[in-house]
């Protein structure tokens, strides 16, 4: 049984000057989220439910058995003001404590993704929040089931693991990677909470550490979430899809992500496709005394540099993805959300 933290702890949550809050939860009253525990650094951890706009029949025909995505509902999603669960920005969930304790969620369990997350963190812990870019990427995975079906895929900077969980409904193996034992443990719990989704599609999710600032994968068996030699061989021999959402908020980390993408692409046995989700955020800066989008601009410059990379082994083709595909998760799909596809092909 999960012990709920005392209600008084909710009143003790404060916001510091370096606190970052995801827009997914920004307009959602706290009582719409169920606090389930405090993590190792004392941050409140909540459990939220995200609604999938598919029917049980569409799950059977499209999600679990890999049918045409045309079987999935493509009706207009509920508005951001109401949502299908009655809360803004699609982060709705029940208020019933017995749901957190293991009772079946409202409706079919295949209609709900249950995610543990924090709501406000310092910048270094933003992976513990849920971001709209992850929901957009999950939508794209559901739309392009043909691209992910039966493949081996790797997510960079998986955070709470939401996109990896969705990918596992169609992929054969998903390596869900990030850094930090506390974050990876949260990711592992979310995968366990939604294991029925991956199991129905035959997918397996493996949570692993992958540090963008290191050239090699950790193989020390004493380190939590390290890699076995068999897993490394499987990764390099079979991976065809790389994906990442909302990891482009710091220039140094963005550089490290692109370096890691290039390094992985060169080590993979097969040609691969990378899908990147980013939100173009406008911020006022003292340096420019104006509203700019520096993190996004740096991301775009890295895309251009990757496309111009010429080492005689691989060429990278960069394409924007039109975000006009059906919305199958309830959230606010704003114009600032973008998807980019990178195709890594051997030079012939």
Residue 239 DSSP SS3: strand
Query: What is the distance between the terminal CA atoms of the chain, rounded to a whole angstrom?
Result: 58
- From 108, 82, 121, 110, select the one nearest 331 (Cα to Cα): 82
Residue 307 scores a pLDDT above 70: yes
CATH number at residue 337: 3.40.50.150
Q: What is the pLDDT of residues 164-212, one digit of tens each?
A: 999 999 999 999 999 999 999 999 999 999 998 888 778 899 999 999 9
* DSSP H or E run through 334: none
* Burial per residue of 287-316, b for 16 or more beta-carbon CB atoms within 10 angstroms, e otherwise: eeeeeebebbebbbebbeebeeeeeeebbb
Q: Which residues contact 299 (CB under 8 A, 6 or more apart)?
A: 248, 254, 278
Domain containing residue 271: 124-346
Class of residue 326 by CB neighbours under 10 A (exposed 0-12, middle 13-18, buried 19+): middle
Residue 285 scores a pLDDT above 60: no
Residue 203 belongs to some domain of the structure: yes
Residue 185 belongs to some domain of the structure: yes
Residue 159 belongs to some domain of the structure: yes
Confidence of residue 269 (pLDDT cuts 50, 70, 90): very high
Residue 286 scores a pLDDT above 60: no
Residue 336 belongs to some domain of the structure: yes
How much is the pLDDT for 331?
85
Q: Which residues contact 23 (CB under 8 A, 6 or more apart)?
A: 89, 131, 132, 332
* CB 89, CB 24: distance < 8 Å: yes
* CB 346, CB 313: distance < 8 Å: yes
Residue 309 belongs to some domain of the structure: yes
Residue 289 belongs to some domain of the structure: yes
Instruction: Identify any residues that bridge with 319 across adjacent strands, giving them in sequence order.
Output: 341
How much is the pLDDT for 156?
98
Q: Between 4 and 121, name the one with better pLDDT.
A: 121
SS3 content of the chain, % helix, strand, coil (to 5): 35, 25, 40
Beta carbons within 10 angstroms of residue 271's beta carbon = 12
Q: What is the pLDDT of residues 114-155, one digit of tens each?
A: 999 998 788 888 999 999 999 999 999 999 999 999 999 999
* DSSP H or E run through 9: helix 8-11
Q: Which has the minimum average pLDDT: 22-36, 122-136, 304-318?
A: 22-36
Residue 24 belongs to some domain of the structure: no
Residue 276 DSSP SS3: strand
Angle, helix 294-307 to helix 251-267, in steps of 10 degrees:
30
Number of folded domains in the chain? Answer: 1
Please state the pTM of the whole predicted model.
0.80
Residue 179 belongs to some domain of the structure: yes
Confidence of residue 39 (pLDDT cuts 50, 70, 90): confident
Residue 1 scores a pLDDT above 70: no
């Amino acid at each position: 049984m999960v012990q709920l933290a005392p209600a008084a702890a909710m009143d003790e949550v404060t916001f510091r000057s370096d606190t970052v809050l995801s827009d997914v939860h920004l307009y959602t009253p706290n009582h719409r989220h169920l606090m389930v525990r405090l993590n190792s650094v004392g941050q409140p951890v909540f459990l939220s439910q995200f609604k999938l706009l598919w029917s049980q029949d569409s799950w059977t025909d499209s999600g679990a058995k890999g049918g045409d995505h045309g079987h999935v509902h493509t009706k207009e999603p509920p508005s951001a003001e109401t949502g299908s669960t009655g809360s803004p920005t699609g982060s709705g969930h029940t208020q019933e404590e017995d749901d957190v304790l293991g009772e079946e969620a409202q409706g079919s369990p295949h209609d709900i993704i249950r995610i543990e997350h924090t709501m406000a963190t310092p910048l270094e812990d933003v992976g513990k929040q849920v971001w709209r870019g992850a929901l957009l990427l999950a939508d794209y995975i559901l739309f392009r089931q043909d691209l992910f079906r039966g493949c081996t895929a790797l997510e960079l900077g998986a955070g709470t693991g939401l996109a990896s969980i969705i990918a596992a409904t169609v992929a054969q193996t998903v390596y869900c990677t990030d850094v930090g034992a506390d974050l990876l443990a949260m990711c592992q719990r979310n995968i366990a909470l939604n294991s029925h989704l991956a199991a129905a599609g035959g997918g397996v999710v493996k949570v692993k550490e992958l540090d963008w600032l290191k050239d090699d994968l950790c193989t020390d068996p004493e380190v939590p979430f390290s890699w076995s030699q068999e897993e490394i061989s499987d990764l390099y021999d079979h991976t065809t899809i790389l994906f990442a959402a909302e990891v482009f908020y710091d220039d140094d980390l963005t550089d490290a992500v692109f370096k890691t993408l290039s390094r992985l692409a060169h080590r993979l046995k097969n040609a691969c496709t990378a899908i990147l989700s980013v939100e173009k955020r406008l911020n006022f800066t003292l340096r420019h005394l104006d509203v700019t989008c520096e993190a996004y601009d740096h991301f775009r410059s890295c895309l251009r540099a990757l496309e111009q990379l010429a080492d005689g082994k691989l060429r990278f083709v960069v394409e924007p993805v039109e975000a006009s595909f059906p919305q199958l998760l309830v959230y606010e799909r704003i114009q600032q959300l973008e998807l980019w596809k990178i195709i890594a092909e051997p030079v012939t």
